[in-house]
Structure formats: structure tokens, C-alpha cells
Amino acid sequence: MKTLYVYMMTNRSRVVLYIGVTNSLVRRVYQHQQGEIDGFTKRYKLDRLVYYESYERPSDAISREKELKGWRREKKNALVETKNPTWADLSAMLYQPTRDPSSSPRFGMTRHGGPSQNESASPA
């Protein structure tokens, strides 16, 4: 079974948050950063990954995405800050020079804050 990811992207000024779901976090973040996806994320230059969670069941990932999209901004900010208090761009942890953007991330957070199945180390 393929892992799915619910993720949050923002821009340098953190004015806007985008929440999405994907089966390839590395590829999707790369596409956002390169402006390959027309629409909201390209228009607002949302190029910084600030939060993500992993799920094994597509229905769980989609439900979580919908849940987060229904939250007020303050609650979303608090969630980001539980795992990423400095709002660092987490995408650097996803990339390694020899990695293909279609591969899955090495690091991750599950809904319950524990490591994802393919996690080999904790994010800083």
C-alpha cells in the first residue's frame, strides 16, 4: 500500500497557507516550488513546506485534509508550531542530491506525531 501525505505549504512572509494531499510528497513539493502547478500555490508563491503527516489509507488522508481546511488560521498555525516552531522549510529534508523527485520522503510525521513508516531520523 502506498503512503499518502497531507501537507501545508506557505510563502516567505507566511501570509497564506495551502493544504493538500499527495502520494508523492517529494514530487509535489518540487512541483509547487518550480511553479509547475497553476493556480493558488503558483499565484501566491507557496514554496515552503512547513508541515506534513503520513497516512496509509487514502480515506484517512482525504478526511484529514478536509478537516484541516475547515480549521481557523490560528488553529492551523498552532498545529504547524507543534512540530515546526520556527516555520522552517522542511523540503530540504526531503531532497538528497541523488534522489529522484518521484521518490517518497525520508522524514515524516504521522497524524499522531510519531515517525512515519519510512522515517529513519527525526526532523530537527
* Domains observed in the chain: 4-94 (3.40.1440.10)
Q: What is the pLDDT of residue 123?
A: 36
Quickly count: other Cβ atoms within 10 Å of residue 95's Cβ.
16
Q: What is the pLDDT of residue 58?
A: 97
Cα 87 off chain centre by: 12
Residue type, 63: S
pLDDT in tens, the chain (124 residues): 799 999 999 999 999 999 999 999 999 999 999 999 899 989 999 999 999 999 999 999 999 999 999 999 999 999 999 999 999 999 988 876 544 555 445 444 444 443 343 333 333 3
Rg of the chain over all Cα atoms, to the nearest angstrom: 13
Quickly count: other Cβ atoms within 10 Å of residue 20's Cβ.
21
Q: What is the pLDDT of residue 95?
A: 76
